[in-house]
């Protein structure tokens, strides 16, 4: 069977992924190494994600701010441990001018006294903001968020999954007590989980990271892990309890009720444009993207099928009537998003255009539909792209159900990846080695005690890593058991997998 | 009379401006030269501007995209004229890594083969996007927009008015005909004008720029000029018809209906966080910011006045009831935005806090109000901050009117700056020189023919410039007359003023 995307998932998963992105026109590679241009369809999905999450973040009392793109080198140095961990690979601004060289070409001029770094995260700047704003316990908690572009000079990049520049949301909070800050980190993790599962149809396992995988400077790092169609885990977001580490390096103190100076406890948390990569790798098929209805920029597309010029007016008028009718209906967070494709292109081109973009419902409207007061439609999740015919009234009455069903089916199908069959508990070393020797092994659960060396060995031998200690055991296994690598020790249930 | 802002406008306008920004907590100076941190109140205003304009832009058929922050030097070179004009002062990235030097400090490492420039605008990147997307006349028009951060290494910076990094929206369109592209530039100018006048209460004069002030690479540049309280003009946005200049340098061609290759005609247009500076300088007074209700993040603030602890519960409950009641009401683009200030601070501190932030209506709610079912309120535009008492029902019935009146009064008061008295027609050179020799001269209208040298002389002698040839004559003067500087020539009516 011919598919719209070539190669297919089973032929070459990484290549398939890139092709889906191109076919859906989500993004394209930019002329700057490791960067991408996010095209209208991809950006519209990001805007949906932004709008929903921003409302959720604000509903939890956070205020948005905007910090500078550039950070002085001396600021970066102050955060020694932090920078040691991840941000050494970053873009450095050294000049503030271009001038014509003798050969007529432009060259950098006006060298800066102090180099500036494009933000790899804004912890250091937010630290200063907090230090200035926070004087008394009356000023706490401070709950802030920022939507921004971020730059980390990645060596191996892949669109949406890992790019040198990416877009994200970074939340930063300061509290009087450890408990409050720690709870807040978990609170935001839960907010992300609900968002991923409810809106993106993306089931996730949440939990604590192993010491090795902890965010530099954090006391605890929590993660959301999704399992993609190729069985690899993808970290979809993180939330950190930072203890008083940042408070100390940025000198964020407050006067408590007894007029004693105290350091605040902080948290930070973020998700990025990577969510779109996760969406693609979870739901797309060999015909292209599949958008869960709640996040789809267009939920229903109407394609006029005009065989004779004299029918055009009637068909377009009928499409507009259907559009108006549907736009009255409310699904999830607002009115239905309905588009009529009146471009001057062949119907079959249009059909595949919208299949590849993953629009949940596609209607084809010709003279038969006009005269019969019918709607011919196909659901994107029906991979045969089979058309059904409904009377207009029936379609109008059922359309919300079609969308809900699509949303639910996508979620359930993705959830299979988290069944005991796909995510077995392994209590024997040989079984584990055999499991991870296969070509695209599913994740597994093991009893694990933090051990840097064994973790490194596993990474080298099987390219697997400890993804997290799941917060809630999804299969009712015991939370603790004999550690797989040292039976004298008690291990904690851990998710282990290949990962992006 | 003591004012909340010191110095006052008449004492020191530039200093007053900075103090208003600090007092309203709109923004603060960052540790990077010429950059600012936009604080929650300032960013909330920007988000309101964004949300309204974004809806308008999308309603006009534009789609949002996101282009990379960094542009290769070779790309910049291609746009020789463009870059010559304004973008030579820009931040240049030359290294992709930080490493520890012998002295233990971090230093830039991994020099890039080709330096990268932080975007001073995205024309060059969009050009590539257009070139790839546009093949046939069927692909046109292409209407795109981007919300992004921009970097121009400004020497003298002032918060919101001129900062090295700023936030903006940049629209870029491609069309088959000159007429369509040129009309589109004017169409977006009109969209901005409506937005400024209707939402920001900021009357503007729109018109064509003189050749001198034209955007580098543009065929025509149009501007929106506002007149601030110190009589200086502020350019609030621009829209450009770029002709085929960008199409030629970026090779953006399409096949027309006759299968002939043609260059597209392009337009671009943008507004920035400078709009917030314009808002401050137009409406703020000696007690701080004044927010027009349509753009105010909070339109009504309720301040509980708790004299005895035992009254607290009743007062807070009454505030919540008022809040719920008001939140049911719709004004302009949505439900009323009502905040209860329950912070642990003195009522007088709270009062001045919200005065300085410019919230349109401030209510003080104590036991008197609870028992009498009254509301004590003050309008921000009443500079005596006099409190009125209304029954709750009356207040509820009148509140929309109070907001509408405030919005209208702010607009009308700003519009005085555009009366013939404040903006006289001057037809005599000596009169003009005398006019501009005063300390804070109002703008003037003159008949002008483009003359670089005289324009330069005027700039040097009086610090004035030709702001624009007004699109529509607001005072019914003749559109053409004897040129002020050469009576043998016909001049065009032009706005001349000191400007930011």
| pLDDT score for A477 | 87
pLDDT value at position A357?
Answer: 98
Residues of chain B neighbouring A153 (CB-CB closer than 8 A)? 96-97, 110
**Residue in A with minimal Cα distance to B141:** A343
Chain B stretch 356-395, residues whose beta carbon is closer than 8 A to a beta carbon of chain A: none
Residue pair A106/A58 in contact by the 8 Å Cβ criterion: no
Q: Closest Cα of chain A to B462: distance in Å?
A: 30
For chain A, the maximum distance between any two Cα atoms, rounded to a whole number of angstroms, is: 84
ipTM of the complex: 0.95
pLDDT at A499 > cutoff 60 = yes
Which of A395-399, A409-413, B448-452 is the least confident region?
Answer: B448-452
Read off the pLDDT band of A333 (50, 70, 90).
Answer: confident
For residue A70, the number of C-alpha atoms closer than 13 Å in the C-beta half-sphere is 32
User: Is residue B460 pLDDT above 90, yes or no?
Assistant: yes
Q: What is the DSSP string of A250-317?
A: HT-EEE-TTS-EEE-EEEEEEEETHHHHHHHHHH-BTTB----TTT-S-SEEEEE--SSGGGHHHHHH
Tell me which of 3.40.50.800, 3.40.190.100, 3.40.50.150, 3.30.565.10 is the CATH number of domain A300-405: 3.40.50.800
A68 contacts in B (CB within 8 Å)?
A: 30, 32, 35-37, 165
CB within 8 Å: B28 and A91: no
Contact B66 A129 (CB under 8 A): no
Query: What fold is seen in the domain B300-409?
Result: Rossmann fold (3.40.50)
- On chain B, the residues whose CB falls within 8 A of the CB of A83 are 98, 106
Residue B339 has a pLDDT of 98
- C-alpha distance from A95 to closest chain B C-alpha (Å): 5
Interface list for A 133-152 with B (CB within 8 A): 138, 144, 148-149, 151
Per-residue pLDDT band for B384 (boundaries 50, 70, 90) equals confident
Pairing type for strands A27-29 and A265-272 reads unpaired
Q: Per-residue pLDDT tens for B343-383? A: 989 999 999 999 999 999 999 999 999 999 999 999 999 98
From chain A, pick out residues whose CB is under 8 angstroms from the CB of B105. 77
Helix residue spans in B34-177 (DSSP H): 40-59, 73-78, 80-86, 123-133
pLDDT at residue B1, as a whole number:
74
Q: Residue B88: is its pLDDT beyond 80?
A: no
Phi-psi region of A278 (alpha: psi -120 to 50; beta: other; left: phi over 0): alpha
Interface of A with B in 329-358 (CB under 8 A): 343-345
By C-alpha distance, the chain A residue nearest B105 is A77
How many angstroms separate the Cα of A451 from the Cα of each of A221, A458, A461, A482? 17, 11, 16, 14
**Pairwise CA distance, residues B53 & B145, whole Å:** 11
- DSSP code per residue over B85-98: HHTTS--EEEEEEE
pLDDT tens for A244-270 read 999 998 999 999 999 999 999 999 999
- Find which of B70, B114, B125 to mutate to test the A interface (most A CBs within 10 Å of its CB): B70
User: Confidence band (pLDDT; 50, 70, 90) for A70?
Assistant: very high
The pLDDT value given to residue B338:
98
- Chain A CB contacts of B76 under 8 Å are 98, 106
Tens digit of pLDDT for each residue in B129-147?
999 999 999 999 999 999 9
Residue to test with chain A: of B49, B91, B132, B170, most A Cβ within 10 A: B91
Q: Give residue A100's pLDDT.
A: 85
* Number of CB pairs, chain A paired with chain B, less than 8 A apart: 188
pLDDT given at position A82: 60
Strand partners, B95: A92, B111
Select the residue from A36, A40, A129 to test the B interface by mutation, using most B Cβ atoms within 10 A.
A40
Q: Which one of A22, A32, A346 would you mutate to disrupt binding with B, by most B Cβ within 10 Å of its Cβ?
A: A32
Cβ-defined contact of B64 to A44 (cutoff 8 Å)? yes
B423 Cα to chain A: minimum distance (Å): 38
What is the pairing mode between strands B330-331 and B253-255?
unpaired
Q: What is the rounded radius of gyration, in angstroms, for the C-alpha atoms of chain A?
A: 26
Mean pLDDT throughout B213-235? 95
CATH class (in words) of the domain with range B13-71+121-283: alpha beta
CA dist A325 and A316 (Å) reads 14
pLDDT cut 70: percent of chain B above it: 98
Give the pLDDT band of residue B267 (cuts 50, 70, 90). very high
pLDDT digits (tens, 9 = 90+) for A3-18: 999 999 999 999 999 9
What digits encode the pLDDT tens for the residues B278-335?
999 999 999 999 999 999 999 999 999 999 999 999 999 999 999 999 999 999 989 9
Residue B164 confidence (pLDDT) above 90: yes
Residue B454 clears pLDDT 90, i.e. is over it: yes
User: What's the pLDDT tens digit per position in A427-448?
Assistant: 999 999 999 999 899 999 999 9
How much is the pLDDT for B84? 63
The band of B105, judged by pLDDT with boundaries at 50, 70 and 90, is confident
Average pLDDT value for residue range A214-218 = 88
Which of A25, A26, A31, A152 has the most B C-beta neighbours within 10 Å, making it the best mutation to test the interface with B? A31
What do you get for the CA distance between the two ends of chain B, in Å? 30
Q: Is the pLDDT of residue B74 over 70?
A: yes
> How far, in Å, CA of B281 to CA of B227, rounded?
9
Q: Which residues, at least 6 apart from A83, have a Cβ–Cβ distance to it below 8 Å?
A: A76, A77, A216, B98, B106
pLDDT mean over B473-477: 78
Q: CA-based angle B72:B74:B77, to the nearest 5?
A: 120
Which residues in chain B (72-91) have CB-CB distances under 8 A to chain A? 72-73, 75-77, 83, 87-91
Q: For A290-302, write each residue's pLDDT tens digit.
A: 999 999 999 999 9
Q: CA A262 to CA A177: how far, in whole Å?
A: 10
Instruction: Name the pLDDT band for B93 (thresholds 50, 70, 90).
Output: very high
DSSP-assigned beta bridge partners for residue A267: A173, A241
Q: Which H or E run includes B369?
A: helix B367-372
Q: Does residue B153 belong to the interface with chain A, where contact is any CB pair within 8 Å?
A: yes
pLDDT at B87 over 60: no
Residue B437 reports pLDDT greater than 80: yes
Which has more confidence, B270 or A88?
A: B270
Q: What is the rounded distance in angstroms from the CA atom of residue A466 to the CA atom of residue A311?
A: 62
The residues with which B479 forms a beta bridge, in sequence order, are: none
With an 8 Å Cβ cutoff, are B92 and A89 in contact? no
Q: What is the pLDDT of residue A306?
A: 95
Mean pLDDT of chain A: 94
Q: Would you state the pLDDT for residue B464?
A: 97
CA-to-CA distance for B249 and A394, rounded, in angstroms? 54
Question: Residue B333 has what pLDDT?
Answer: 83
Fold held by A429-498: Translation Initiation Factor IF3 (3.30.110)
The three-state secondary structure class of A249 is helix
A79 pLDDT higher than 80: no
pLDDT for residue B83 is more than 70: no
Q: Of all helices (H) and strands (E), which one includes residue B142?
A: strand B142-151
Encode pLDDT of A455-485 as tens digits.
999 999 999 999 999 987 777 888 999 999 9
A40 and B64 in contact by Cβ < 8 A? yes
Looking at residues B235-255, what average pLDDT do you find?
96
**Quick one: pLDDT band at residue B189, thresholds 50, 70, 90?**
very high
Q: Which of B61, B76, B87, B96 to mutate to test the interface with A (most CBs of A within 10 A)?
A: B96
Q: Are strands B444-448 and B165-175 parallel, antiparallel or unpaired?
A: unpaired
Q: Does the CB of B448 have a partner CB in chain A at under 8 Å?
A: no
Collect all residues of chain A within an 8 Å Cβ-Cβ radius of residue B108.
92, 94, 115
Contact by Cβ (8 Å): B98, A76: yes
For A13-85+122-283, CATH gives 3.30.930.10
Question: What's chain B's average pLDDT?
Answer: 94
What pLDDT does A421 receive? 86
Quickly state the pLDDT bin for B82 (edges 50, 70, 90).
Answer: low
Over 80: is that where the pLDDT of A84 sits?
no
Say whether A429-498 and A13-85+122-283 share the same fold: no
| pLDDT on residue B492 | 95
Residues 287-306 of A with CB under 8 A from B: none
Output the pLDDT for position A476.
82
Question: By the CB < 8 Å criterion, does A29 face chain B?
Answer: no
A37 to chain B: which residues are within 8 Å by CB?
Answer: 65-68, 125, 129
Q: Is the pLDDT of residue A325 over 60?
A: yes
Which of B35, B66, B344 comes nearest A167 by C-beta?
A: B66
- Domain positions in chain B: 13-71+121-283, 300-409, 429-498
Q: For chain B, say whether A327 makes contact (Cβ under 8 Å).
A: no
Q: Which residues of A400-420 are buried (b: 16+ CB within 10 A; e: fewer)?
A: bebbeebbeebbebbbebbee
Contacts of B153 in chain A (CB under 8 A): 96-97
Q: Which two tokens stand for residue B275?
A: 């709009």
User: In angstroms, how far is CA A265 from the centroid of its own chain?
Assistant: 27
For B273-399, strand residue ranges (E) read 300-304, 330-331, 334-335, 338-340, 361-365, 374-379, 388-391
Q: Which of A72, A108, A344 sits opposite B115 (nearest CB)?
A: A108
Of the partner residues A115, A151, A344, the one whose CB lies closest to the CB of residue B138:
A344
Residue A127 phi/psi, 5-degree rounding, is -55, -45
Strand partners, B174: B142, B266
Choose among B35, B39, B343: nearest Cβ to A138.
Answer: B343
- Which of B35, B97, B110 is opposite residue A68, by nearest beta carbon? B35
Nearest-Cα residue of chain A relative to residue B93:
A93
Share of chain A above pLDDT 70, in %: 98
Q: In whole angstroms, how large is the CA radius of gyration of chain B?
A: 26
Decide if B317 touches A, using CB distance below 8 A.
no
Q: In the structure encoding, which two tokens stand for residue A489, read together?
A: 């020790």
């Amino acid at each position: 069977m011919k598919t719209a995307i070539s190669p297919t998932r089973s032929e070459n998963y990484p290549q398939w992924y890139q092709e889906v992105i191109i076919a859906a026109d989500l993004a394209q590679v930019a002329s700057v190494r490791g960067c991408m241009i996010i095209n209208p369809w991809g950006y519209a999905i990001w805007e949906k994600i932004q709008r929903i999450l921003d409302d959720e973040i604000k509903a939890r009392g956070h205020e948005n701010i905007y910090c500078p793109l550039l950070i002085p080198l001396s600021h970066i140095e102050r955060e020694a441990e932090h920078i040691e961990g991840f941000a050494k690979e970053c873009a450095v601004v050294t000049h503030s001018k271009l001038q014509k060289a003798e050969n007529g070409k432009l060259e950098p001029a006006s060298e800066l006294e102090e180099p500036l770094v494009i933000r790899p995260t804004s912890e250091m700047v937010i630290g200063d903001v907090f230090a200035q704003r926070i004087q008394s316990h009356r000023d706490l908690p401070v709950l802030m968020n920022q939507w921004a572009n971020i730059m980390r000079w990645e060596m191996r990049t892949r669109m949406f999954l890992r790019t040198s520049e990416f877009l994200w949301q970074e939340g930063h909070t300061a509290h009087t007590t450890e408990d409050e800050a720690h709870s807040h980190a978990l609170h935001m993790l839960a907010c992300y989980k609900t968002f991923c599962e409810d809106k993106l149809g993306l089931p996730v396992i949440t939990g604590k990271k192993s010491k090795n995988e902890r965010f530099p400077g954090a006391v605890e790092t929590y993660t959301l892990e999704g399992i993609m169609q190729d069985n690899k885990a993808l970290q979809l977001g993180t939330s950190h309890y930072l203890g008083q580490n940042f408070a100390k390096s940025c000198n964020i103190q407050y006067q408590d009720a007894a007029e004693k100076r105290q350091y605040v406890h902080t948290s930070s948390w973020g998700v990025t444009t990577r969510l779109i990569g996760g969406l693609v790798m979870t739901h797309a098929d060999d015909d292209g993207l599949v958008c869960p209805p709640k996040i789809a920029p267009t939920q229903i597309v109407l394609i006029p099928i005009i065989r004779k010029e004299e029918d055009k007016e009637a068909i377009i008028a009928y499409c507009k009537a259907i559009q108006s009718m549907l736009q009255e209906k409310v699904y999830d967070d607002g009115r239905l998003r309905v588009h009529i494709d009146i471009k001057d292109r062949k119907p079959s081109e249009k059909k595949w255009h919208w299949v590849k973009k993953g629009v949940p419902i596609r209607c084809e409207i010709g003279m038969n539909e006009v005269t019969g007061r019918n709607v011919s439609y196909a659901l994107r999740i029906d991979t045969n792209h089979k058309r059904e015919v409904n009377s207009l009234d029936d379609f109008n009455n059922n359309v919300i159900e079609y969308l809900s069903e699509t949303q639910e089916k996508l979620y359930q199908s993705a959830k299979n990846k988290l069944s005991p069959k796909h995510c077995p508990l392994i209590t024997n070393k040989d079984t584990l080695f055999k499991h991870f020797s296969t070509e695209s092994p599913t994740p597994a659960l093991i009893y694990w005690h933090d051990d840097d060396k064994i973790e490194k060995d596993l990474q080298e031998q099987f390219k697997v890593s400890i993804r997290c200690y799941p917060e809630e055991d999804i299969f009712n296994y015991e939370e603790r058991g004999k550690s797989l690598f040292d039976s004298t020790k008690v291990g904690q249930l851990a998710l282990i997998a290949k990962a992006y």
